[in-house]
C-alpha cells in the first residue's frame, strides 16, 4: 500500500509538472515534446506517441519510444486506433493488439508493441490523441487511463492557447503592417504637402522674371541675416541698391535676367539678393562700402567688355545695423535708388 501511495504521488507530480510546462508552451512542437515524455513517464510505458487529426487522416507528429514507431506518417482515420479514439471521443485500452480487430496489424508487426492505451485530445470533437505502448502484454488500469486522459485534457487547452497565441501574433503583425503602411502614407502625404507648401512659399517669395527674391522674400531673408549677425556680433552689414538704366526697350526682360545672373555670380548663396520691381535690385551683404562697390564696378566693367549691349547699373549703398528693421531698410534703399542717390 505504501508503494502504491509513493507511485501515485510521483504520477501526480509528473502530471502537475507536465500541466505547468504545457501552460508555458508557445508552439505545437513544444507541446508534442512535453506530452510524449510525460505520457510515457506517467504509466511507465515503453513508448508514447503524439497524434494529430489531419482531416480524414491521423498524423503521428512525435514519439518517445524504445524503438521507432510511426513518427511522421499518416494513416486513414477509419483504420487507425488513434482515429477510433477520436471518432468515438473516448479512451481505448487494448491488452493484446493482435486480438483486437480495430488495430491495423500490418502496421504494428514491425514494432515492439503488444499492448496500448489511446486517449483522445479533447473529449468534444477531438483534435488528436495520445498513445502509450508496452512491449509486454498488459492491461492498463483505470487510474492509468485517468492520468493519461487528464494529460490529454490539459494538452487540448494548451493547443487552444497556442492557436490563440498564433492568432494574436498574426493580428499584431497585421496591425503592425497596417500601421507601417499608414505611417508611410502619412509620411509621403506630409512630404508632398511640405513640397507643395515650399513650392508655394518659393513662388510667394520669388520674383518671377529674375528668379531672385521679391519684396516678401527680401524681408524674410534679411530678417534671418540680421538675426545671424546679431548672434555673431557682426556689425559690417551693407545694403547695396542698384538700378538698371536703359530698361525701356524690347530686350528689357533679357537685361533684367542678365543683371540677376551677374549678381548671382558675384555674391554667395548666403547673401540676400532681391529685385523690387522694374530695374531696382537690392543686395544685403557684408564688408566695407568702398571696397565692395569698387569690386562690384570692376566686375561689371569686366562683364561688359565686348558685350553687344553693356549693362548700365547705378550702384549705391546704405549702412545698416543688426537691430535695423528690414522693412525700413528696404524702403530707404528703394527711395535712394529711385532718387539716384
How many whole angstroms separate alpha carbon 285 and alpha carbon 318?
11
Task: Enumerate the β-bridge partners of residue 129.
Answer: 51, 120
Instruction: Spell out the alpha helix ranges (H) of 25-141.
Output: 28-42, 81-88, 105-108
For residue 134, how many C-alpha atoms fall within 13 Å in the half-sphere facing its CB? 18
The string of pLDDT tens digits covering residues 40-90 is 999 999 999 999 999 999 999 999 999 999 999 999 999 999 999 999 999
Q: The domain 206-339: what is its CATH number? A: 3.30.70.270
pLDDT exceeds 50 at position 5: no
| Parallel, antiparallel or unpaired: strands 92-94 and 57-65 | unpaired
End-to-end CA distance of the chain: 124
pTM: 0.56
Contact 87, 71 (CB under 8 A): no
The string of pLDDT tens digits covering residues 24-44 is 999 999 999 999 999 999 999
pLDDT at 3: 38
The string of pLDDT tens digits covering residues 265-288 is 998 777 899 999 889 999 998 889
- Beta-carbon contacts of residue 289 (< 8 Å; ≥ 6 apart): 238, 317, 319
pLDDT exceeds 80 at position 255: yes
Domain limits, the chain? 2-169, 206-339
pLDDT at 324: 87
How many whole angstroms separate alpha carbon 120 and alpha carbon 109?
24
Contact 102, 116 (CB under 8 A): no
A 10 A CB-CB count for 315 gives 17
pLDDT at 261: 92
pLDDT at 39: 96
Query: Do 2-169 and 206-339 have matching folds?
Result: no
Place 170 in a pLDDT band, splitting at 50, 70 and 90. Answer: confident
Q: Determine the topology of domain 2-169 in CATH.
A: Beta-Lactamase (3.30.450)
Amino acid at each position: 500500500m505504501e508503494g502504491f501511495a509513493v507511485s501515485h504521488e510521483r504520477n501526480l507530480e509528473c502530471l502537475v509538472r507536465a500541466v505547468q510546462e504545457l501552460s508555458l508552451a508557445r508552439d505545437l512542437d513544444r507541446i508534442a515534446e512535453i506530452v510524449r515524455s510525460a505520457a510515457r513517464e506517467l504509466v511507465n510505458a515503453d513508448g508514447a506517441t503524439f497524434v494529430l487529426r489531419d482531416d480524414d487522416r491521423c498524423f503521428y507528429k512525435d514519439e518517445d519510444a524504445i524503438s521507432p514507431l510511426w513518427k511522421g506518417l499518416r494513416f486513414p482515420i477509419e483504420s487507425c486506433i488513434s482515429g477510433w479514439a477520436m471518432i468515438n471521443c473516448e479512451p481505448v485500452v487494448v491488452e493484446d493488439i493482435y486480438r483486437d480487430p480495430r488495430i491495423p496489424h500490418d502496421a504494428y508487426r514491425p514494432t515492439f508493441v503488444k499492448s496500448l492505451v489511446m486517449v483522445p485530445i479533447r473529449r468534444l470533437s477531438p483534435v488528436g490523441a495520445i498513445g502509450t505502448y508496452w512491449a509486454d502484454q498488459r492491461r492498463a488500469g483505470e487510474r492509468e487511463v485517468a492520468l493519461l486522459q487528464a494529460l490529454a485534457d490539459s494538452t487540448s487547452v494548451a493547443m487552444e492557447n497556442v492557436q490563440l497565441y498564433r492568432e494574436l501574433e498574426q493580428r499584431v503583425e497585421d496591425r503592425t503592417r497596417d500601421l507601417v503602411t499608414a505611417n508611410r502614407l502619412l509620411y509621403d502625404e506630409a512630404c508632398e504637402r511640405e513640397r507643395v507648401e515650399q513650392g508655394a512659399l518659393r513662388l510667394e517669395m520669388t520674383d518671377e522674371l529674375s528668379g531672385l527674391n521679391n519684396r516678401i522674400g527680401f524681408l524674410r531673408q534679411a530678417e534671418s541675416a540680421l538675426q545671424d549677425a546679431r548672434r555673431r556680433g557682426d556689425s559690417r552689414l551693407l545694403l547695396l541698391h542698384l538700378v538698371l538704366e536703359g530698361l525701356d526697350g524690347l530686350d528689357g526682360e533679357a537685361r533684367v535676367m542678365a543683371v540677376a545672373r551677374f549678381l548671382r555670380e558675384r555674391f554667395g548663396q548666403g547673401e540676400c539678393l532681391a529685385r523690387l520691381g522694374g530695374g531696382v535690385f537690392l543686395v544685403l551683404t557684408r564688408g566695407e562700402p568702398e571696397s565692395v562697390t569698387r569690386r562690384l564696378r570692376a566686375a561689371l566693367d569686366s562683364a561688359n567688355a565686348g558685350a553687344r549691349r553693356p549693362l548700365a547699373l547705378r550702384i549705391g549703398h546704405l549702412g545698416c545695423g543688426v537691430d535695423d528693421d528690414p522693412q525700413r531698410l528696404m524702403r530707404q534703399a528703394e527711395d535712394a535708388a529711385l532718387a539716384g542717390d
